[in-house]
Amino acid sequence: MKTSETAKTPIPHLAEPCWDDVSRLPIEPGDEPLVPMSLAPEPVKVFPAYARLGIPGAVPECYVRESVYRRLLLVARALPPGTGLVVLDGWRPWRVQQYLFDTLYETIRTHHPEFDEETLLERTREFISVPSRDPSAPSPHLTGGAVDVTLCDADGLMLEMGSLFDEASPASHSDFLERSDDLDERQRRARDHRRLLYHAMHAQGFTNLPSEWWHYDYGDQLWAHYGGHVQAIYGPTELDTIENRWRRQ
């Protein structure tokens, strides 16, 4: 799809995932390694958002599976001149997932004391999946197949996307700006940027989490769910450490 067409092609509306259905999808994991996105050439940029924000346990790098790495390069090279791809997060340690989940859960509970436990969990899972290292149902970011991305201009500054990364509000839903014909100029630019990102990622086999314009998946259970695949190919994984290497040797 040409760049001019992506700006005119709306992001389709997708239902939120039923996490019980997602977790039941089988996983046939291989041994594909995690690789650092900082190896990538221009026009890919890496900004490990959680490490920069001081999140406890966050790593100062964005790791993804090798196939995800190569597909992200193809995405970046297909973008129009002067536009780059920014990787904000990839593989995530379990304790970071737990911290994010707990923090959002408590924030929602503070602002909405009327919510019962079921509603609190539902609202939290809208933006942060339940921390899980279960080999049969891992959190997407623990697999190295989930990646958070945005776009930047030729100077490396991030483009307007209509909401902030990790903003837990309805405006972060991927198709939020598709629901109104009364957008101002800034909102129209953000809508077109979302469309460009969505279609560029989709063209390389990624699927999008509907509640987060920045979140894309390849190979994990969410990818299998939204892509109509019978199974996932990435289970939970860990970084290769010198201790693990010595054990194997």
User: pLDDT averaged over the chain?
Assistant: 95
Tokens representing residue 113 in the block: 């004391």
Per-residue confidence band for 1, with pLDDT thresholds at 50, 70 and 90: low
Edge-first strand order for the sheet with 207-208 is 44-46, 84-89, 146-152, 215-217, 207-208
The backbone torsions φ and ψ at residue 19, rounded to the nearest 5 degrees and listed phi first, read -65, -25
Q: Which single residue is written with the structure tokens 């536009």?
A: 83
Q: Over pLDDT 90: what percentage of the chain?
A: 91
| Feature table: binding site for Zn(2+) | 141, 148, 215
Overall average pLDDT of the 46-75 stretch: 97
pLDDT at position 4 over 70: no
- Provide CATH code, domain 3-248: 3.30.1380.10
User: Would you please indicate which residues are annotated as catalytic (active-site) residues?
Assistant: 212
Q: What is the pLDDT of residue 2?
A: 57
Q: What is the pLDDT of residue 56?
A: 95
pLDDT at position 80 over 60: yes
Per-residue confidence band for 55, with pLDDT thresholds at 50, 70 and 90: very high
Q: What is the pLDDT of residue 146?
A: 98
pLDDT at position 15 over 60: yes
Distances (CA, A) of 218 to 4, 25, 167, 181, 203: 26, 14, 22, 32, 12
Report how far residue 78's alpha carbon sits from residue 60's, in angstroms, rounded to the nearest whole number: 27
Across the chain, which distance is largest between two alpha carbons, in Å? 62
Overall average pLDDT of the 83-109 stretch: 97
Q: What is the pLDDT of residue 86?
A: 98
Cβ atoms of 77 and 69 closer than 8 Å = no
| Feature table: binding site | 141, 148, 215
Report how far residue 24's alpha carbon sits from residue 161's, in angstroms, rounded to the nearest whole number: 33
Q: What does the pLDDT look like over 198-234, one tens digit per residue? A: 999 999 999 999 999 999 999 999 999 999 999 999 9
Q: What does the pLDDT look like over 141-164, one tens digit per residue? A: 999 999 999 999 999 999 999 999
Report how far residue 39's alpha carbon sits from residue 79's, in angstroms, rounded to the nearest whole number: 19
10 Å CB burial of residue 247 (0-12, 13-18, 19+) is: exposed
pLDDT at position 31 over 90: no
Q: What does the pLDDT look like over 164-180, one tens digit per residue? A: 999 999 999 999 999 99
> DSSP H helical segments within 177-236, as ranges?
185-203, 221-227
Determine which helix (DSSP H) or strand (DSSP E) holds 121, and give its type and residue range: helix 117-125
Q: Give pTM, 2 decimals.
A: 0.94
Cβ atoms of 159 and 193 closer than 8 Å = yes
Report how far residue 120's alpha carbon sits from residue 76's, in angstroms, rounded to the nearest whole number: 37
Q: What is the pLDDT of residue 194?
A: 98
**Higher model confidence: residue 29 or residue 135?**
135
Domain residue spans in the chain?
3-248
Q: What is the pLDDT of residue 32?
A: 95
Cβ atoms of 90 and 60 closer than 8 Å = no
Per-residue confidence band for 75, with pLDDT thresholds at 50, 70 and 90: very high
Q: What is the pLDDT of residue 30?
A: 83
Q: What is the pLDDT of residue 120?
A: 95
Overall average pLDDT of the 28-55 stretch: 95
